[in-house]
Structures are given as C-alpha cells and as structure tokens.
Structure 1
Amino acid sequence: MRHNFIQFIGLLVLIAGMLSMPLTLFGQATDATIAGLVKDAAGSPLPGATVTIKNESTGFRTGTQTGVDGRFSIKQLPLGGPYTVTFSFIGFTNQTRTGYQLNQADLVSINVTLAESDQNLQEVVVKETGLKSRIDRLGATTAITADNIAKLPVFNRSFTNLIALSPSVTASAWAASFHHRPTT
C-alpha cells in the first residue's frame, strides 16, 4: 500500500512539473526572420517594392513585396548564410545588402531608403504568335483529334470518356461528376 502511495505522489510531482513549464519551451523556433521597411528619399513608404533574399552558400532564394505601409517580413528562413538582400522598385535604383548570417530565432531588421533613378523607362512591345502552332504547349489545354477518338479503347466511344485524354483531370474528379447528376 505504501509503495502505491509513493508512486502516486511521484506521478503528481511529475505532472505538476510538466504543467508549470512555460509553453514557449515547446515552441522554440528553428528558423529566422528578415523584416523591415522600404521608403523613398522623402521618407514615404514604397508599397509593392520587391524584396529578394538569397543564401549565397546554398542558392536558396525567396522574396516578397512590401505592403501598403512599405513593410515586409519573410519568415522561416533557413539558418546560416551569408544572405544577400536586394530591394527594387520601378523608377528607383536597386539596393543590395550582403553578409547577413542567420541564427536560430533571429529577427533581422533592415530599413532601406531607395533613391529615384534618373533612367527613363523603356517601352514594352508585345507581339502575338500563332496559337495554332503552340496548342500542344499551353499547359492545361488538351487537343483531341479524330485519330485520338478512333483509338479510344472504350465501349461505344462515349463523349464522357474523352475526359481521360486530359492530363489536368484526375480520375476522382471525373468519377465525382457522375455522382452529382440529378436523377430523372
């Protein structure tokens, strides 16, 4: 009886110790964050500025755009470095910052002022190309020819079986279309 009581007290002490641990102990970060503010020479925030981050040793690259307040935040960056951070915005000169090493749970703050560029923007010319010659390279588009229909190994060559030729349709989506048909 005394042995059971000692085990019970030991269990209570263990539970009390676990409950008294701070919750932050369980939520330790294993990554880092780079955040900051991008503004112009007058001190106004630049919404929509592009922020690109690259780890020079691994080649890891990611990026974001600043919000309406000119602020950006890129979380869950792999540890290590050196990192290079590039800031760009149309009509402004690019700015690059280098040499950032990220350690566990770091929050690196980078505030940048971009100077206006004296270069004029060049016009963009858009040329159309023939769609007919590129039909096989459009991604989700599938061209079905009479030869494809003739070679279908299905009973009665039903129109609904043509869906099997499209790589963008999965078997479950195709089957689901039959389960939701109204019955008459």
Structure 2
Amino acid sequence: MSRTLASPVASELEIRKSRFLGLALPVADREAALTEVALVRQEHPGATHVCWALLAGGHSGMSDDGEPSGTAGRPILEVLRHHDLDGVLGVVVRYYGGVKLGAGGLVRAYTDAIATALADAETVERVAEATLVVEAAYGDAERVRHWAVAEGYPEPEAEYGETVVLRVALPAPALERATGAVADLTQGRATIHR
C-alpha cells in the first residue's frame, strides 16, 4: 500500500543569498497538482523560479522552470521517490540572491529544500477511491442516500430525472460490500454500476 502526506509541510533555506522555500503536499492527481503549482506562483509573484515534481497514481511529472535542465525538478522527484511517497507534489520556490550556485549547487539546494520539508512529515496510507453509481426509483434512492451517509461516506451526488442516479464516493476496498448492501437495501430493484 502506498503512502502519502497527512498534511502539507514546508521548509525555508537560505543558500548563498538565495531563498529556497520547499513545500510538499498531498494531491489526488496531475490536474490537482497543476492547480496547486499555479496557486504557489500567485502567492510568490516575485520568485525567480517555481520548480516542482509530482508522483501520483503512477503519473509523474516535473519542471525546472527555467533552471538548467535536470537541476531542480529531477532532484525534487528523486527525494519524493526516496521517501516512497505517492499522491504528493513537491514544489520549491527560489528567490535568486545574486550568487550563481552552479549545476551541482542547484541540485543540492533543491534536494535539501524538499528533503528538509519532508524530514518530519507525517505520512498516512493512501487508499484508492472508487465510485458506486446507483440508478433507482425515488424511494429506493432515498434509502441508498441515507445508507451512504450512515456508513460515513460523503453525501452522494444526485441527478434527478425519471429515476435518480446517485454517485457514492467510497474507498475501493469497500466497493464489493457496498454493492451487496445496496442490492439488499433496494431488494434488487436498483441498477448498480461500478
């Protein structure tokens, strides 16, 4: 089972007059990661570089954001891999201080910034999510909605038409049991898609 961060973590280092702000946070996927990178850019409009790396569900990505190729994104990615994390975005914001660090110095700086942020990070098991789609008559749909909330799942999304289509988000390991519970609850009248 893969692990992700319990909450965002951050660090700040000063290396030869440049400030490096390291940030690591849990993300669901690439789209969520790119949204977070855009937010970090907005928060730091004066930054020289906003470099990042992502590991999420088998997808990875990285950006050197104008630093020499391989000196920022790749080192951040390697630190995430070394910590055996998934569903994590690592971002390092650099404010240039006027002293060039050279390729080796940049690799060390970006590695240290993200590693320092992760040093005391709490990790949690990353559980895959699934969606149970239930099409049912109004009365049965209401029973399914009450059941989902009672089980501790988020309020199902609902589309109302001749029937009701409910989307129940739940942990993937619970999908089989949930399918059986919904079939029992509706006495087999609901159409269940997984």
Q: TM-score when scaled to structure 1?
A: 0.25
Question: Which structure's CA Rg is the greater one?
Answer: 1
The answer to which structure has the higher helix fraction is 2
Between 1 and 2, higher relative CO (CA 8 Å, sep ≥ 6) is seen in 2
Q: TM-score when scaled to structure 2?
A: 0.24
